[in-house]
């Protein structure tokens, strides 16, 4: 089912698009119909830099199971980061 709820977050990082690497500034996360994935609904994440136009976008469509596994993997990787790294911020 579509939630029609979209979360927006400021991010700092890099993404690779059709024109190479670019700085990421924002991300949108929502559960809705995918554009490309074959599942009826997916967790969709768009990383983008609005200052660089529509080509500065990286899109991800994940099944709910894959999204939950990714969250767990991210938490595990961050927990293993050294205390004085920027990952603990």
Domains held by the chain: number: 1
Q: CA-to-CA distance for 53 and 11, rounded, in angstroms?
A: 17
Q: Could you tell me the two tokens for 16?
A: 């690779």
Closest CA to 45 of 55, 56, 34: 34
* Structure confidence by residue, pLDDT tens digits, 46-59: 999 999 998 899 99
pLDDT of 35 over the 60 cut: yes
Range of the domain at 38: 6-82
pLDDT band at 4 (very low <50, low <70, confident <90, very high): confident
| Lowest pLDDT segment from 43-52, 55-64, 75-84 | 75-84
Does residue 57 lie in a domain region? yes
Does residue 58 lie in a domain region? yes
Percent of the chain exceeding pLDDT 70 equals 92
Does residue 72 lie in a domain region? yes
Does residue 1 lie in a domain region? no
Mean pLDDT of 32-44: 91
Does residue 89 lie in a domain region? no
Residue 84 has a CB neighbour count (10 Å cut-off) of 7
User: pTM of the entire structure?
Assistant: 0.83
Does residue 62 lie in a domain region? yes
């Amino acid at each position: 089912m579509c939630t029609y709820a979209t979360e927006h977050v400021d991010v700092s990082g890099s993404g690779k698009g059709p024109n190479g690497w670019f700085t990421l500034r924002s991300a949108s996360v929502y559960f809705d119909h995918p554009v490309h994935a074959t599942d009826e609904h997916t967790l969709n994440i768009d990383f983008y830099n609005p200052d660089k136009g529509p080509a500065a976008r990286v899109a991800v469509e994940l099944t709910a199971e894959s999204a939950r596994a990714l969250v767990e993997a991210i938490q595990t990787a961050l927990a293993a980061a050294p205390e004085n790294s920027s990952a603990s911020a």
